[in-house]
Structure 1
Amino acid sequence: MTRPVDSGVILIARIALAVLFLWGGVMKLLGYAGFVGYLNSKGVPLVQVAAPVATAVEALGGLLLIVGFKIRPLALIMAVYTVATAVLGHDFWNVTDPALQRDMVIHFWKNIGIAGGFLLLFVTGAGRISIDGARSPRGGLNL
């Protein structure tokens, strides 16, 4: 980081990404049976494993984003997770209704864009306003 403002901008980016995942994780917990049913309807394999993993990735990942802990590996995990949810959950190529297909295309590419944000976070690290930043020597890498 060369400018003091960079860490503040990275913090805002982490929070913006975290809000989506925290909300999703909490909603999955509150409506767990419905979430499992949705995964079954999409033909997701090993729903008994996928449902708790998805819920944990979203809820815990969101919390870790906010506090800035282990951001580089977390960002890679979140990028892969977000692309996987795009492919499994927003499979517009299997939708025949034009209005629904349009919605699915938007959500698919939104997820791809979010994954891109996670890849940028992987490159930048958590910034100084984070647990990673507090644990690393000034100017060091936040791994």
Structure 2
Amino acid sequence: MTRPVDSGVILIARIALAVLFLWGGVMKLLGYAGFVSYLHSKGVPFVQVAAPLATAVEALGGLLLIFGFKIRPLALIMAVYTVATAVLGHDFWNVTDPAMQRDMVIHFWKNIGIAGGFLLLFVTGAGRISIDGARAPRGGLNL
């Protein structure tokens, strides 16, 4: 991926992913007590650790995505996080109400799709329009 348009598309993809996580992180911060209660209701272990960790992953991860800093390791972390939130937060197999179950199925697979986007970002890197791209040597492939 050496065409200039590739880095522009990668930037758009990073921003599209970042918006979701920045929004989620800010909403968790603003409604932190409610978020902690939600985690308790889902039976998430170690909520005292999980709540601040999830908030940080979403808010800081979103910012790092926008700026394109350390994208490859960040993409792996975000992919794992997104799959974990799918399993813990959208556990459709435990829902008996058909309408709610359908909604949870959609959200579960949405998260899996987002994780796939992060895996692609892991492969492509941040692109030239990023901190990673600015720091890369200019002789070879700049992803």
Common topology (TM > 0.5): yes
Shift of 1:3: 1.1
Q: Which runs of 4+ in 1 moved over 6 A?
A: none
Q: Deviations over 1:15-50 (max 9, x none)?
A: 000000000000000000000000000000000000
Point out where structure 1 has 5 or more consecutive residues left out of the alignment: none
- Whether contact under 8 Å (2:2, 2:141) holds in the other structure is no
Structure 1 residues 98, 32: CA separation in 2 closer, same or farther (over 3 Å shift)?
Answer: same
Equivalent residues, number: 143
Residues 79, 142 of structure 1: alpha-carbon distance in 2 compared, 3 angstrom cutoff? farther
Q: 1:137 to 1:35 in 2, by over 3 A?
A: same
Identity of matched residues, %: 95
* Structure 2 residue aligned with 1:130: 130
In structure 2, the partner of 1:33 is 33
Q: CA-to-partner distance for each residue in 1:54-101, whole Å, 9 max, x for gaps?
A: 000000000000000000000000000000000000000000000000
Q: CA contact under 8 A between 1:70 and 1:142: conserved in structure 2?
A: no
CA contact (8 A) 2:70 2:132 kept: yes
Give, in whole Å, the separation in 2 of the partners of 1:138 and 1:44: 46
C-alpha contact 1:132 1:142 (8 A) present in aligned 2: no
- Label 1:140 to 1:62 Cα distance change in 2 as closer, same or farther (>3 A): farther
Cα RMSD, aligned residues only: 1.3
Gaps of at least 5 residues in structure 2 are none
Q: Contact 2:39/2:51 (CA < 8 Å) preserved in 1?
A: yes
TM-score, structure 1 normalization: 0.97
Pairwise CA distance, 1:4? 1.0
CA, structure 1 residues 139+62, in 2 after alignment: closer, same or farther (shift >3 Å)?
A: farther
CA 1:139/1:125 → structure 2, altered by over 3 Å: closer, same or farther? farther
Change (3 A) 1:140 1:100: farther
Contact 1:71 1:142 in 2 (8 A): no
**Partners of 1:140 and 1:51 in 2: how far apart?**
42
- 1:138 deviates by 2.1
TM-score, normalised to structure 2, is 0.97
